[in-house]
Amino acid sequence: MKKYTYTEKKDTRSGFGAGMAELGKSHPNVMALCADLVASLKLDAFIKENPDRFVQCGIAEANMIGVAAGLAIAGYVPYATTFANFGSGRVYDQIRQSVAYSSANVKIAVSHAGLTLGEDGATHQILEDLAMMRSMPEMTVINPCDYNQTKAATIALADHVGPAYLRFGRPVVPVFTDPNQEFVIGKAWMVNEGKDVTIVATGHLVWEAIQAGELLEQEGIDAEIINIHTIKPLDEEAILKSVEKTGCVVTAEEHQLNGGLGDAVCQLLSRKRPTPVEMVGVDNSFGESGTPAQLMEKYGLNAAAIVEKVKQVIARK
């Protein structure tokens, strides 16, 4: 098992803020919009340097999406930001008509996705957003795993023409990916090569998958770990190639089992190469208040849960 270590923990949203600060310098057409959550989205640095390219929209997300579409029509590259809950379900129709169907070059960049939002509870813990955005034609969907990857994804999206949904989170988590990584939209990252099982993970579950890989190694199980940061378009080739070798898959995501990464992988495999799959995710349930760690434990979204699913899926080979 390839060793991954970290020296610090940071929140992925700060990676977004750092990416925006760089774009502020490098991309004069990039704009930031926010619905009264500037500090939460870590936009302070961008706003300080580029006050003219920031649009405070107030607590009016539907209008924000439309304003972003209008700016995109004029040739700007707007990043419309808020919490994932308010940047997906609340404005689904606005994104669908004014952005995706209109091919508007709008980036919807959202924080506090999933259970790890924590204490605010289920009203804010969106676990259905990947499903909504995945099903929308023309939409690119990205869920990076740590600070560095989120920063790299934020920057990469500025040169990607087309609507995109970039989802990240609130808690501090290990920073373990290369700070100078090249982020290619739609291209999986091979975290660890192995032969017994393929673990396909996204977002905060990538670090958990690495932890699971180490635990499995102690039991003599050699896990291949693939990070799918781009849920759509899915890197089908990377997954199919891995499955050819391992013959079974565990998917892991901070999202409902319905409609997320696991579903995407199952759809691919059932069509192209039927393979036993087990899925780690939230099973048809809302979340609740608690610390991020408590919630990930209670809802089965951690290394231990991945290890258990790996054993189940290997038994089905």
Partner 1 sequence: MKVEELKATAAQVRRDIVRMVHGCQSGHPGGSLGCTDLVTALYFHAMKIDDSKGADGYLNFSKEGKGEDLFFLSNGHISPLFYSVLARRGYFDIKEMTTFRKINSRLQGHPATHEHLPGIRVASGSLGQGLSVANGAAYAKKLRKEDNVVYVLMGDGEQQEGQIWEAAQFAPHYKLDNLVAIVDWNKQQIDGSTDKVMDNRDLKAKYQAFGWLTVDLLDGNDMQQVLDALAAAKALLGKGQPVVILMKTEMGAGVDFMMYTHKWHGTAPNDEQLAAALAQLPETLGDY
User: 115 in helix, strand or coil?
Assistant: helix
Measured CA to CA, the distance from residue 87 to residue 100 in angstroms comes to 14
- CA neighbor of 313 nearest in space, from 172, 216, 230: 216
Q: Locate 211 and state its tokens.
A: 């932890």
Q: Single out the residue of 75, 182, 220, 271 in contact with partner 1 (rule: CB under 8 A).
A: 75
Q: Single out the residue of 30, 71, 141, 228 in contact with partner 1 (rule: CB under 8 A).
A: 71
Long-range pairs for 86-91 at CB < 8 Å and ≥24 separation? 86/35, 86/61, 86/110, 87/61, 87/129, 87/165, 88/126, 88/128, 88/129, 88/132, 88/133, 88/165, 89/126, 89/128, 89/129, 89/132, 90/61, 90/62, 91/61, 91/62, 91/64, 91/65
Q: Is 57 in the site for partner 1 (CB under 8 A)?
A: yes
Let me know: does 20 contact 47? Beta carbons within 8 Å: no
Minimum Å gap between C-beta 105 and partner 1 is 10
User: 92 in helix, strand or coil?
Assistant: helix
Q: Is 76 in the site for partner 1 (CB under 8 A)?
A: yes
- CA neighbor of 116 nearest in space, from 167, 76, 170: 170
Whose Cβ is closer to partner 1: residue 70's or residue 290's?
A: 70
Distance of CA 178 to the CA centre of its chain: 17
Whose Cβ is closer to partner 1: residue 105's or residue 256's?
A: 105
From 61, 128, 208, 224, the catalytic residue: 61
Q: Is 72 in the site for partner 1 (CB under 8 A)?
A: yes
Task: Tell me the window of 53-61, 152-160, 168-176, 274-282 that interacts with partner 1 (CB under 8 A).
Answer: 53-61
Whose Cβ is closer to partner 1: residue 103's or residue 211's?
A: 103
Whose Cβ is closer to partner 1: residue 85's or residue 302's?
A: 85
The sign of the torsion formed by the CA atoms of 301, 215, 178, 251 equals negative
Q: Is 74 in the site for partner 1 (CB under 8 A)?
A: yes
Read off the DSSP letter of residue 36.
S
Q: Single out the residue of 81, 85, 94, 111 in contact with partner 1 (rule: CB under 8 A).
A: 94
**Residues 6+ away with beta carbon under 8 Å from 198:** 223, 224, 225, 226, 239, 242, 243, 245, 246, 248, 249, 250
Q: Single out the residue of 27, 70, 120, 217 in contact with partner 1 (rule: CB under 8 A).
A: 70
Residues 102-141 that bind partner 1 (CB under 8 A): 102-104
Let me know: does 175 contact 16? Beta carbons within 8 Å: no
Task: Tell me the window of 1-9, 68-76, 183-191, 270-278 that interacts with partner 1 (CB under 8 A).
Answer: 68-76
Q: Is 40 in the site for partner 1 (CB under 8 A)?
A: no
61 in active site: yes
Minimum Å gap between C-beta 239 and partner 1 is 30
Read off the DSSP letter of residue 307.
H
Q: Single out the residue of 32, 47, 68, 173 in contact with partner 1 (rule: CB under 8 A).
A: 68
Minimum Å gap between C-beta 98 and partner 1 is 5
Q: Single out the residue of 15, 19, 24, 66 in contact with partner 1 (rule: CB under 8 A).
A: 66
Residues making contact with partner 1 (CB under 8 A): 52-53, 55, 57-58, 60, 62-76, 78, 93-94, 96-98, 101-104
Write out the catalytic residue numbers.
Answer: 61
